[in-house]
Every structure is written in C-alpha cells, then in structure tokens.
Amino acid sequence: MRATLKKHNIRFRERLAASKVIAILRAEDTEYFADVAQVLYDSGIRVIEAALTTPGALDAIAQMQVELGPDTMVGAGSVRTVSDVDNCASAGVDFLVTPTFSADVLDRAQQYSLPVVCGALTPTEIDAAWRRGAAVVKVFPIGPVGGVEYLRAVRAPLPEIPLVPTGGVALPEVEAYLGAGAFAVAAASPLIGDAVCGRRLDELARRASDLASLAGKFV
C-alpha cells in the first residue's frame, strides 16, 4: 500500500510540476464548472480542484474527468473528514486537497493510495504533513502571514518539501512565488473570477493563458 501511494504521489508531483498551477473551482453550484474547466484546459492549466463546499462537486468532478480526459487531473478540495475521503475515493477523484493538517484524513487517503495536497501553515504543521505522506503541502492561507517572504522563511529549514502557496495569492505575485521556490501555486478567485457563474469566460481564457505561459518559465 505504501509503495503504491509513493508511486501515485510521484506521478502527481510530476504532473503538477509540468503545470505549476492548481486552479480552484468554488461556487454556489456547479452549473458552469465544466465550461470553466474546458477553458482552463484549452489555456494549458491541467490540474483542477473542485471544492466539496460546492453542492454536487463530486458529480462535477466525474463530468470533468470524462470531458477533459487523462491529460487533466481533477481533484476534490475542502476535504476535512474520513467520510469525505471515502466519498471521494468512491467517486474516483484524482487527488485530494485539505484546508488543514489531519492525520486521520492522510491515513485514510493512504488506504486508497490517493495523493493529498495537505493544508498546513506553520513549519511544524508543514513538516508533520510531509512526514505523514502528503504528496505536496499547501501553505494556507499564505497571504495574511507574509506571502512570498513567509514562503522563503519556511523553505529555508525545509527545502526538500514541495510547497504550494494558497490563499491570497494574487496573479501578479505568481512569478515571485515560483521564483522563491514554490513547487506550484493554487489560485481561486484571482484566476477564476466570476466565470464560475457563467460570466466573462473570455476574460478567464486570457488570465489562464497568461498564467500558464508565466508558469511555464519555471517548468
């Protein structure tokens, strides 16, 4: 089981390293998730997270997986409980994203060999998440605690841990985060905007294409 998880974690990191961006979809409903995901795919962003706080997220993930195919990894975000993990595994998601560090959630995900983007903030939490088997560690919320400078400070004693700054990451800051050693970045509203409500998909396409081009410099 651990060997399989290790293989899946390596594969996930390889895919994320080729994209450098996790696009986060969160809304009151999933009506436009598939449309947004197609724009992201066409723009070169191939790792997508749909938050479980959106009703119907698991069904939307399944739809996106079918429509986008194996070139895209679609995972579930806001995973907080063992029951969430069970439901996500049954639905066949590609990976999990948690807002916080939970040993129970990581252990359960390991039973399914599911890669986890584990939320953590302090160096202690980050180290614990990595040691517990996280594929990468989501530093959340990074914006309010110092942004790029906080990332640099955390990476200094923990250089081997792949970190994904999340929460308050403005698009103009992405280059600085990646330049400071972020493994990837995750973006919700700064990238997606109101496209999840079916509005201004053309503007999303422009933002996503610009972000994918910028991130590509760090691949």
Structure tokens at 66: 């079918």
217 in catalytic set: no
Which residue among the candidates 138, 149, 203, 217 is catalytic per the annotation? 138
Q: What are the CA-CA distances from residue 120 to residues 97, 159, 161, 183, 210 (Å)? A: 11, 16, 12, 15, 28
Stretch 88-102: mean pLDDT, rounded?
Answer: 99
Structure tokens at 145: 């605690």
pLDDT in tens, 172-218: 999 999 999 999 999 999 999 999 998 899 999 999 999 999 999 99
pLDDT of 1 over the 70 cut: no
6 in catalytic set: no
Stretch 65-79: mean pLDDT, rounded?
Answer: 98
Structure tokens at 39: 């724009």
- Whether pTM > 0.75 for this model: the answer is yes
Domain ranges of the chain: 2-216
What pLDDT does 199 receive?
86
Which candidate, 10, 19, 4, places its Cα nearest to that of 49? 19
What pLDDT does 196 receive?
93
Reply yes or no on domain 2-216 having CATH 3.20.20.70: yes
Stretch 143-167: mean pLDDT, rounded?
Answer: 98
Structure tokens at 79: 């995973």
Neighbour count for residue 192 (Cβ, 10 Å): 22
pLDDT in tens, 103-131: 999 999 999 999 999 999 999 999 999 99
56: helix, strand or coil: coil
pLDDT of 43 over the 70 cut: yes
Which residue among the candidates 49, 160, 173, 175 is catalytic per the annotation? 49
